[in-house]
Amino acid sequence: MDNAADYEGRRNNANTAASYGQDPQRPRPGPSSMISPQFTTSQNYDLQDQQDDLLERLAGQYTSFEAHDMLVKAFEKTITGRLSASFKDGIRLAEVVEDAIKPKIGIAFLAGADTPQVTQMEQIQMSQKEPDQKDASWRVNTAGALLKNFDVDKSMSIIATDNTPAVIAAARQRMNATGPFTDPNATSNHRALALRRHQDRIVTIRSDNVKIVNVLFSEKWDLEGLLVEVDQSSLMAVILNYRHIINRGGSDLSCGETIKLLDNMIEDARRLCIRSPILFRMSTRRHIISSKNTRYGVDHGTMFQTLTTSSGIKNIISLSAAYFNSLASYNRQEQQLIRPRFLQMLVLLLSLLNDDDLSELAEFLEVTYSIQAHRQHIELLILKVLPLMSINSKIFLRSLIIACDGPLANPDPQLSDQPQLWSMFLHHLVDHQYVLPGTIEQVGSAECSWVINWPEKGYSDSGIFKHLQYAGPARTINEIPPINLTAEYTSNEVTIILTNGCRYIVSVEDLENITRMTPRRYAVVEATPEGRSFNLDITDVQVNEPLYRAIWEINTTLNVVKSILPARPKHTMSARLNSIIGERLPISRRLSRGGSPSEQSLLPEIKGSGRLTYHVASLNEHMLAVTYKVEGRKITRRELVRHLASDLSKMRAAIEAIEITVQQTFDEKRLDERIRQTVHGIRARLVAVWRLYRLAEENKEKMEKYSAKLADEPISKVLYPIGAEETPIAVWNVYKAWRGGGGGGNGDVIYIEAQRRSVHSVTLLNDGMTMEVSFHGHETKYFVTPLTKIEDGEHEEEIRSEDMVILAGQYLIVVERNGITFTPNELANSGHHHHNHPQQQHGISKAGDEPLLGPCQPATPTSFAASRSTERYPRIERRSVPESSAAAATPTRRTPPRPQMQLETILNWLKITGVESPRRRRRHPQNDATQMIISAIR
């Protein structure tokens, strides 16, 4: 593998390689011009260095936990082992304070390192099995870390706050005891001071008081935390880029810079989706919603380390108002490029907020962004924008209903119940002024045409909600397109831009593995008509292989030493090793508190940080990216060097401890032949261990010198249809929809009050997807597209001449009569009144008015167009009759018949992508006057 210096001579060719793929007239470069992106990568290194520095400082907050953990690992081999640790003001103490408060702590840990792990977790939740309890040291260390909150302020400083007083108060309340230092009759100020007294600043966490559970609301805890494992680099990149945009904002950040940062954030969201699949699982939503202490971070094996919290993300969002308002200073074209992307990233951050933090932002979201901030509305917004999924339709549907309707709605849908539950959910959406458009294949059933069919295998991802539309107030949801992180339609290939600036085509199957830097050879093809094929090789190198062999040798040697040491030197040896590893409490004191003889004979083992590797991506032997991992989890180069240094330090100290102990115990003493041979063998082993140690140290020095600023992934961008291009036009056809009864449907009928048109002509444009639609009696033309890809010749099935359509928001709804006439009942009328439809203002209809598509009227499209000014659903007239008159009324009195309506069936939905209106002409009437008409759909 070439080092960074080997590529400096190729720097002059950087511009050629970077621009290739953007100008088709340029000659194609040969493989030799595909230089290392060390000099061509477009990443903002100031931001990258800022991210690495922040991660380094966050890791530094947990070093005291890691030092104590090494001894624990030697004795806590199972989850049933007990361990206690005391914490003062959130900082771990060397001694255990036995009389301190011992809180009850609940942890919900959502492992999300890879897709198989997430799938396994969902299966465990399906079977209601108890989750893995980790080991005692992990539980104690992680629970101890929950005592502190870490937040990052505007200056990128880490702010730590201590939760210990609140935990102590909760524990005392649970135990129905106020404690000697808190007087319940004291004033609040005195009580606040009392909480900070010495005894009230210490808690002792016992491993058997810490439990990992599936759901936190199953019990009451003194301290609880939802821990969500994420990929640290992609999550921190999203947060830091978002912070960078809102902190500079407005005129200080050009349109081009803003779009570049937002595109980087979308790429980070793609990486986050691949590397942290737990965030994009439907079942995760209920955990995040209901949690009180939500943390996102990484599992280091010894403990969970927090990167950010729901509260920290809330604070970032709350600072975004100034930037969002400054978008008005951009021109219309720039706003169309920036606004949708910015809102997409806002939704991604909103998805990380729990209920408490979301409620604090409610007014801010509604005033600043015109987003309905009630939890149900936010969940529907997340469903529309983010790609959420589950392993099967049962988990998806159950999680969907719980997320939107709350934990009390706890369905356990069997396969046969799923269609009914799905239909009920869509009925409830209409009650909240949402409609879910569908394709020809998805709508039009005889039972309820407006409800999207539940397929045989059900739905297991949120893609079905990408066209969700809201007709209530604060309709920003309709402006935010979905983040498409999958290849368009059913394509098996996707176009990518590598860090050398060139475009290539790669299979969708390989994309995830390349993003994860999984070692293998991948085939990529230039994205040109005569594209050449190249090999993208990802190789891995284990940095600490010599060190691991040395650790194995030293642990084997420790077992040999244990077999020949007398009891007293063995205890001295244990104390020395534990002191070296970092435990301040001598082993003899710990074991004298109740340890068994078998425990007393143990010598602690040296444990490494894990398999440390770096992975290099090369295109035809030219380096594109390098990333670092510990046990397959991505870390920074600094972290890898720190892990190596820590392991080497423990290793060296352990070797020296063995040498000193053997020398003091056996030198210049008469030994029998067996022990003499054993001591000789130990010293020979130590010589071999020293050799491996020096080899590992050389590897560390090489890594410290390796500072090439390569990207951490060979793909700089995936050319997905990110959704911003699908941004809705600035046209909204006002409509209202509500549920009613009638037609024997028991509420399956919906009423839509909107403009109606009769199609005059349909013309397919050159792109093969967009159709130009004109209407009888109207000069305005609409441009529409199907909701899914269609093949050649299929556009005639989408919409035809003489079809009847309803203009609803951003969609055309194609409808036809189903031949059923019905009389609307009071439910329909009350729904009409409740939503205050404009029709009520027209007063009681005249005798000549007729109901929409009344009985026995064929009503051809042309006749509909001609009568559009008179067709309306009349308000049902009710008379107030005195009780005395009512009692005297004869049964023969006939009441006026209520108006009847024709039921209609929805055939299809089409997305409006453009409108062409005629120019206004003086002294000429405008023929596009709007008329709101009520339709009954079943």
| Mean pLDDT confidence for 506-517 | 87
Domain assignment present for residue 456? The answer is: no
Q: Model confidence at 592, in pLDDT bands (50, 70, 90)?
A: very low
Domain assignment present for residue 38? The answer is: no
pTM of the model: 0.74
Task: Give me 321's structure tokens.
Answer: 């108002």
Q: Which of 689, 718, 747 is the last residue of a domain?
A: 718
Q: How many domains does the chain have?
A: 2
Q: Which among 430, 476, 374, 427 has a CA at the least distance from the CA of 736?
A: 430
**Are the C-beta atoms of residues 748 and 448 closer than 8 Å to each other?**
yes
* Max mean pLDDT range (629-638, 850-859, 863-872): 629-638
What are the CA-CA distances from residue 550 to residues 480, 557, 641, 692 (Å)?
56, 10, 18, 6
Q: Which of 688, 718, 748 is the last residue of a domain?
A: 718
Whole-number Å distance between alpha carbons of 185 and 165: 18
Say how many residues make up the chain: 938
Whole-number Å distance between alpha carbons of 460 and 394: 8
Q: What confidence score (pLDDT) does residue 415 get?
A: 75
Are residues 848 and 751 located together in one domain of the fold?
yes
Domain assignment present for residue 497? The answer is: yes
Lowest-pLDDT choice from 219-223, 518-522, 526-530 = 526-530
* Max mean pLDDT range (322-331, 537-546, 816-825): 537-546
The residue that leads in pLDDT, 733 or 579, is 733
| Mean pLDDT confidence for 627-653 | 83
Are residues 776 and 695 located together in one domain of the fold?
no
Task: Decide if pLDDT at 58 tops 70.
Answer: no
Lowest-pLDDT choice from 239-243, 736-740, 741-745 = 741-745
Q: What confidence score (pLDDT) does residue 491 get?
A: 64
Are residues 679 and 812 located together in one domain of the fold?
no
Are residues 760 and 823 located together in one domain of the fold?
yes
Are residues 775 and 684 located together in one domain of the fold?
no
Sequence-distant (6+) residues with CB within 8 A of 506 are 493, 494, 496, 514, 522, 523, 524, 525, 536
| Mean pLDDT confidence for 875-882 | 35
Whole-number Å distance between alpha carbons of 235 and 277: 12
Task: Decide if pLDDT at 910 tops 60.
Answer: yes
Q: What confidence score (pLDDT) does residue 573 get?
A: 62
Q: What confidence score (pLDDT) does residue 504 get?
A: 93
Domain containing residue 747: 736-877+896-937
The residue that leads in pLDDT, 352 or 845, is 352
Task: Decide if pLDDT at 258 tops 90.
Answer: no
Lowest-pLDDT choice from 40-44, 100-104, 428-432 = 40-44
Domain assignment present for residue 766? The answer is: yes
Counting Cβ atoms within 10 Å, is residue 606 exposed (0-12), middle (13-18) or buried (19+)? Answer: buried
Sequence-distant (6+) residues with CB within 8 A of 617 are 514, 517, 536, 537, 538, 623, 624, 625, 626, 713, 714
Task: Decide if pLDDT at 468 tops 90.
Answer: yes
Task: Decide if pLDDT at 12 tops 50.
Answer: no
The residue that leads in pLDDT, 300 or 372, is 372
Give the sign of the dihedral formed by CA 287, CA 293, CA 299, CA 302: negative
Angle at 157 between CA 151 and CA 159, to 5 degrees: 40
Whole-number Å distance between alpha carbons of 84 and 594: 14
Q: Model confidence at 899, in pLDDT bands (50, 70, 90)?
A: confident
Counting Cβ atoms within 10 Å, is residue 881 exposed (0-12), middle (13-18) or buried (19+)? Answer: exposed
Q: What confidence score (pLDDT) does residue 73 get?
A: 39
Task: Decide if pLDDT at 834 tops 50.
Answer: no
Are residues 504 and 584 located together in one domain of the fold?
yes
Sequence-distant (6+) residues with CB within 8 A of 432 are 376, 377, 472
Task: Decide if pLDDT at 563 tops 50.
Answer: yes
Are residues 541 and 586 located together in one domain of the fold?
yes
Lowest-pLDDT choice from 5-14, 250-259, 557-566 = 5-14
Lowest-pLDDT choice from 62-76, 461-475, 581-595, 750-764 = 581-595
Are residues 817 and 713 located together in one domain of the fold?
no
Domain assignment present for residue 4? The answer is: no
Q: Which among 440, 426, 431 has a CA at the least distance from the CA of 468?
A: 426
Tokens 């978002």 found at: 242
CA 120, 125, 127, 131: dihedral to nearest 10 degrees? 80
Instruction: State phi, psi for 304 to the nearest 5 degrees.
Output: -95, 125
| Mean pLDDT confidence for 200-212 | 92
Are residues 650 and 575 located together in one domain of the fold?
yes
Are residues 702 and 841 located together in one domain of the fold?
no
Domain assignment present for residue 679? The answer is: yes
Task: Decide if pLDDT at 454 tops 90.
Answer: yes
Q: Which of 718, 751, 773 is the last residue of a domain?
A: 718
| Mean pLDDT confidence for 763-779 | 90
Domain assignment present for residue 427? The answer is: no
| Mean pLDDT confidence for 142-159 | 76
Q: What confidence score (pLDDT) does residue 524 get?
A: 93
Whole-number Å distance between alpha carbons of 483 and 462: 11
Domain assignment present for residue 204? The answer is: no
Beta strands in 726-867 (DSSP E): 736-740, 749-764, 771-775, 778-786, 804-808, 811-822
Q: Model confidence at 243, in pLDDT bands (50, 70, 90)?
A: confident
Sequence-distant (6+) residues with CB within 8 A of 723 are 340, 344, 481, 482, 483, 484
Q: What confidence score (pLDDT) does residue 373 get?
A: 92
Task: Decide if pLDDT at 451 tops 80.
Answer: yes
Q: Model confidence at 329, in pLDDT bands (50, 70, 90)?
A: confident
Q: Model confidence at 855, in pLDDT bands (50, 70, 90)?
A: very low
Longest dimension (CA), the chain: 128
Instruction: State phi, psi for 582 to the nearest 5 degrees.
Output: 130, -5
| Mean pLDDT confidence for 379-405 | 92
Radius of gyration of the chain, Cα coordinates, nearest whole angstrom:
34
Are residues 751 and 683 located together in one domain of the fold?
no
Task: Decide if pLDDT at 693 tops 80.
Answer: yes
Task: Decide if pLDDT at 372 tops 80.
Answer: yes
Distance of CA 919 to the CA centre of its chain: 46
Q: What percentage of the chain has pLDDT greater than the value 90? A: 27
Q: Decide the pairing of beta strands 901-916 and 933-937.
A: parallel
Indicate the average pLDDT of the chain: 75
| Mean pLDDT confidence for 165-178 | 82
Q: Model confidence at 859, in pLDDT bands (50, 70, 90)?
A: very low
Are residues 692 and 749 located together in one domain of the fold?
no
Q: Model confidence at 209, in pLDDT bands (50, 70, 90)?
A: very high
Task: Decide if pLDDT at 369 tops 70.
Answer: yes
Task: Decide if pLDDT at 420 tops 60.
Answer: yes
Sequence-distant (6+) residues with CB within 8 A of 778 are 757, 927, 928
